[in-house]
Structure 1
Amino acid sequence: MVDPKEGWVIVNGVPTHVCTWGGWITEKLSKSQDSSSDNNAIILLLTGNPGVIRFYYSFLQIIYTQLAVPIWILSHAGHEQPSKKDDVPPLVDNPDLYNVSSQVTHKAEFIEKYVPLDKDIYIISHSFGAKITVELLKREQFRKRIKKCYLLFPTLERIGDTPNGIFIKKIIKYLFTVTLLLSWVFTVLPTILKYWLIKIYFMIDGKFNVESNSIYAVIDLIHPTILKNVFNLASNEMDKICELDKEVIKECVDKLQIYFGASDGWAPLEYHYHLLDVIPKIDSRILDKKFQHCFMLQTAEELASDLSEHIENDMK
């Protein structure tokens, strides 16, 4: 296994956690000698909400091992807290810095600043990351650079009408205050205790083989400042992700490969069938029921292996 490189950069005024396999963002990238592809490519993963990148480490490690193509991932603006300096700008003073529109701007600025112009971009996006991907495709400067997009469990429309969306809208104002209070208490606990509390929670929920990276990702997430931004984005998603972006999806149909879960409270199967009705040529598939919306917790390696085969074929 190749150890990733990690660091922090300022993107759209926010400290942003970046992790890469196959070269750092400020280094000159060259074609891998191990890659089976002749394409001068880079893979960029756009996360769901919450945008904590450690959730995706094992998933991306497997893809890099199989493809040997540079892979980069960045946190959402305000979803990770730097440990030493450059604190995340507070939500109360920056109400528009962490919403749906700003997260799109955040990714656009990152691509323009760090992804070399001579690189073909392949995007893997999860959940809310699919919405960001579609928004990027609306911009001509990105559309011509992006060769293929793989949308996993995509939240592309009417997120507030989904089973999970309806539930969250009902309880978010109550859940918000209680969660922030508990998160403040959680931050003062020793790390080993935090780790075991989260592990026990997953075991109670029937998830017995959640890997350490995901547990540490939850530890990174449970911070009052971060949770405020996560809840703020979730609330804004309910308001802004409504109608399907039919026109851009039709125009970019050859660039999109979409994967719905067989049982997904955020992107139900009716949205898969609606997408096929509206755009019959779209490549939209249904994953095996073992793959859940939070696939990173237990089936990351298996989904990574399956997806790598599709990406490899597209890069030939």
Structure 2
Amino acid sequence: MNEAFVEINNVRTKVVTWGRWIEESAGSTNKIIILIPGNPGITNFYQKFAKTLYERSEIPVWCVGHAGHNFSDKSVTFPKFDDNKHLYGLSGQVEHKLEFFNKYVPENAQVYLIGHSIGAYMCLEILENISIKNKVENAYLLFPTIEYMAESENGKFLIKFVLPYIRFILILAWLINLLPSCLATILIYIYMFIADVPREHLNSIKELIQPGILKRVFFLSREEMDDVNQRNNKSIIANVNKLKFYYSKIDRWAPESYYNNLKQEIPNVNAELSKINHSFVLHYSTDVATIVADWISH
């Protein structure tokens, strides 16, 4: 595994790779798997998934964090939030992924693109770029939040019970970060137990509750509620032979009804239902990685 912060769309961005690094020559294969996370776009959440996918497929995996979502130390600074909100919103994150492709993905690359949750939305947007479309062999959209997010069960909860209290949540995160490390860790473990988050994600949660990171995560969430409405059928139809959609019967962000609507409106789309939770990286990283690796190999 290799990881570093590189500049993409004027934001220092965390990229983690298994196999070749983004600036290494292709070697014996021009195949690459590129993973675009959901929100939060913290790469640590996807380590087990990406590592398993690399081991199963034997293809280099590149995980690109979202702009402003990964904390390192004081040596890595981001453009100030209040003056640069356009870099951290939904359209900014799409531009961010476009620049990553243009800057780091070779012209002759054969890309297998994976988007989780809002990452699936970003995949559909960047596939409208002809140069990227030509590089992408297949795109796998996992638990895709690509339409009417605010009308989903979780979307309604977020709008009513979370977004109005962002200021309070940020103050609470700031206070937790002021505590002695051992006490803060105990409180985080209590939260993780209540929320059923495995202990292996402790560092990911610590990263998430940095106030600056959390502010950018919530900003993206608010724009998702406002802007993810009508499905991008234009991109889906234009790329239908490349796309695979993976929904869940128990998903409260992208419910089964959205899957049914997609199948009805675009009958030839490749889509299937599972019973795996939307936040698969918490409990089912190995299972989903194995499924995706099998899709790629066939």
Work out whether the TM-score is over 0.5: yes
**Structure 2: gaps (5+ residues):** none
Match 1:102 to one of 84, 87, 92: 92
CA contact (8 A) 1:150 1:259 kept: yes
> 2: CA distance between counterparts of 1:146 and 1:173?
36
| 1:241 aligns with one of 228, 232, 238 | 228
For 1:220, which of 193, 198, 207 is the aligned residue?
A: 207
Shift of 1:189: 3.2
How far off its partner does 1:191 sit? Answer: 4.2
Residues 54-73 of structure 1: pairs in structure 2 closer than 5 A: 54-73=44-63
- The 1:173/1:308 distance shift into structure 2, 3 A limit, reads closer
Gaps of 5+ in 1: 33-39
Aligned partner of 1:36 in structure 2 is none
User: Which residue pairs with 1:6 in the alignment?
Assistant: 3
CA 1:190/1:45 → structure 2, altered by over 3 Å: closer, same or farther? farther
- CA drift of 1:54 comes to 0.2
In structure 2, distance between residues paired with 1:240 and 1:222:
25
Paired with 1:311 and 1:193, the residues of 2 have a C-alpha distance of: 44
Name the counterpart of 1:308: 293
Q: Quick one: distance in 2 between partners of 1:137 and 1:257?
A: 14
Give the corresponding residue for 2:40: 50
Listed one character per residue, the Cα deviations across residues 173-216 of structure 1 (whole Å, up to 9, x for unaligned) are 432011101110122234444444333323223x27x141x221
User: What one-letter code is carried by the residue in structure 2 that aligns with 1:237?
Assistant: E
Give the SS at the match of 2:87. coil
Tell me which of 160, 165, 168 is aligned to 1:170.
Answer: 160
Whether the 8 Å contact between 1:78 and 1:226 is mirrored in structure 2 is: yes
Shift of 1:31: 2.5
For 2:179, give the aligned amino acid.
L
- 1:206-237 deviations in Å (ceiling 9; x for gaps): x27x141x221111111111111111111111
Q: After superposition, what is the alpha-carbon deviation per residue over 1:153-185, rounded to whole angstroms, capped at 9, x for unaligned?
A: 100101111111111112334320111011101
Tell me, in whole angstroms, the C-alpha distance in 2 between the residues paired with 1:179 and 1:193: 18
Q: Which letter maps to 1:174?
A: P
Percent of aligned pairs with the same amino acid: 36
What CA deviation, in whole Å up to 9, does each residue of 1:120-147 have, x standing for no partner? 1111110000000000111111111111
Computed over aligned residues only, the root mean square deviation of the Cα atoms, in angstroms, reads 1.4
* 2:5 counterpart SS class: strand
Aligned residue pairs total 298
Indicate the SS of the match to 2:82. helix
Q: Match of 1:37?
A: none
Distance (whole Å) between structure 2 residues aligned to residue 84 and residue 18 of structure 1: 18
Give CA-to-partner distance per residue, 1:83-135, whole Å, 9 cap, x none: 13241112211121111111010011011111111111111110000000000
> Is 1:21 the counterpart of 2:18 in the alignment?
yes
The reply on whether 1:230 has 2:220 as its aligned counterpart is no
CA distance 1:91–1:278, shift in 2 (3 Å)? same
Amino acid paired to 2:87: L
